[in-house]
């Protein structure tokens, strides 16, 4: 380790030394700044490592309890909220969204099903009208605009990544059924009882534990123009209405908002525990959160396709379940094509492999440029499966 890089801390079972080596190599060879990785196998924690810096200036070491915004890795816990309600018979994924949210039927959406929201097939990848960051922080305004708009494509036919709108769409259904926004529902039903250090948004009292996100090097104006020239209007709406990056996500306003698709804050340990509910077929640490049947339903394939939003940035087709992505032939979550998980903007991820009884959480603060399958994440996953 160089004098500018604190050593890696934590625990790693001898059998999983390859994961520790990959984690250390991320700092040495892949420009890691601060990060943590955690792995559970059969309900036991076998890897719990952290290291590096919690800030760009390298003045705050990454600690055992450092929190960081995990962007779309938040979508897994948000999907979990919907699956809990469905497991209790309170929510039907094959029912029209308008059965729970009557205003949603506007704009020709009366036949959009709840499963279409979970699988990014609702045609509502982004709002048509300009939507500012301040407006994104306004739950009522954002959900009202989504309820009123017409879809970009025929719902149910193909997926198009709902980068921010996913959380408002699934989240509003959760609110209509349970009376609670996803953050409060998750805390009441899961993270509170299980003692999992994860929140949607960040309570002000926890701000001192939060790592500073660092954005990847910006593309030049000509490079940005070339990227946007490849994107369909729906993709531009999904990814740039509004434009959000590390600078915005480091603000108190972002942290205070309820954005269930993108502003979950937690440790790698917490991400591993949440995705471990899926890996454990609905149970974690002796606590049953979902029935085995409900946990299995999370990875019920909604069909492979080239995603209408992410297609320009991904080399192949992808496959969505009901809220999470399947590993598939791409191996995004390891060699088991039935493993599943979710990546976050810039690199973080949560992974669940019920066949192997494995869950993994990886969080970091220096964001990479990749849409999915960041090399640091893939190095950790490859190392994990090399010893299983």
Q: What is the DSSP string of 46-101?
A: EEEEEEEBSSTTS-SBPPTT-BEE-BGGGHHHHHHHHHHHHHTTS--TTSBGGGT-
Active-site residue identified among 72, 327, 348, 359: 72
Write the burial class of residue 274 (CB in 10 Å: 0-12 exposed, 13-18 middle, 19+ buried).
Answer: buried
The yes-or-no answer on residue 159 being catalytic is no
Q: What is the residue whose two structure tokens read 């309570």? A: 203
Cβ atoms of 23 and 8 closer than 8 Å: yes
Cβ atoms of 73 and 349 closer than 8 Å: yes
Instruction: For the beta carbon of residue 330, count every other beta carbon within 10 angstroms.
Output: 17
Q: CA 126, CA 232: separation in Å to the nearest integer?
A: 12
Kind and range of the H or E run holding 10: strand 9-12
Q: Residue 78 — φ and ψ, nearest 5°? A: -65, -40
Q: Residue 194 — φ and ψ, nearest 5°? A: -95, -5
Q: What is the residue whose two structure tokens read 């490079």? A: 223
Task: Pull the structure tokens for residue 85.
Answer: 């309600």
Instruction: For the beta carbon of residue 304, count every other beta carbon within 10 angstroms.
Output: 15
Contacts of 235 (CB under 8 A, 6+ apart): 125, 160, 308, 309, 310, 312
Catalytic site positions: 72
């Amino acid at each position: 380790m160089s004098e500018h890089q604190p050593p890696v801390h934590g625990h790693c079972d001898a059998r999983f030394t390859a994961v520790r080596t990959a984690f250390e190599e991320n700092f040495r060879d892949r420009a890691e700044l601060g990060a943590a990785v955690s792995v559970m196998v059969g309900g036991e924690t076998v890897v719990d490592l952290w290291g590096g810096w919690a800030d760009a200036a390298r003045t705050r070491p990454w600690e055992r309890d450092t929190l960081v915004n995990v962007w779309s890795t938040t979508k897994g816990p948000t999907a979990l909220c919907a699956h809990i309600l469905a497991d209790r018979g309170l929510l039907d994924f094959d029912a029209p969204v308008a059965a729970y949210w009557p205003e949603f039927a506007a704009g020709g959406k009366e036949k959009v099903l709840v499963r279409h929201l979970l699988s990014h097939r609702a045609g509502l990848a982004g709002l048509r009208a300009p939507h500012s960051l301040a407006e994104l922080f306004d739950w009522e305004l954002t959900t009202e605009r989504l309820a009123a708009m017409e879809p970009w494509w025929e719902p149910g036919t193909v997926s198009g990544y709902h980068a921010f709108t996913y959380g408002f769409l699934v989240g509003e259904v959760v609110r209509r059924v349970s009376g609670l926004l996803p953050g409060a529902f998750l805390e009441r039903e899961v993270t509170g009882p299980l003692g999992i250090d994860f929140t949607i948004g960040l309570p002000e009292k926890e701000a001192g534990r939060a790592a500073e996100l660092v954005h990847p090097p910006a593309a030049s104006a000509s490079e940005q123009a070339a990227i946007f020239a490849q994107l369909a209007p729906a993709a531009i709406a999904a990814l740039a209405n509004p434009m959000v990056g590390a600078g915005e996500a480091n603000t108190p306003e972002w942290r205070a908002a309820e954005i269930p698709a993108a502003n979950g804050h937690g440790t790698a340990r917490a991400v591993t525990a949440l995705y471990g509910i899926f890996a454990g077929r609905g149970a974690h640490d002796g606590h049953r959160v979902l029935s085995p049947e409900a946990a299995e339903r999370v990875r019920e394939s909604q069909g492979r396709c080239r995603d209408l939003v992410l297609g320009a940035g991904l080399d192949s087709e992808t496959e969505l379940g009901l809220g999470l992505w399947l590993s598939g032939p791409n191996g995004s979550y390891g060699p088991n094509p039935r493993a599943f998980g979710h990546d976050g903007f810039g690199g973080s991820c949560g992974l669940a492999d019920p066949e192997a009884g494995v869950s993994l959480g990886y969080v970091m603060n220096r964001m990479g440029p990749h849409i999915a399958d960041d090399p640091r994440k893939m190095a950790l996953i490859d190392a994990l499966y090399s010893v299983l």
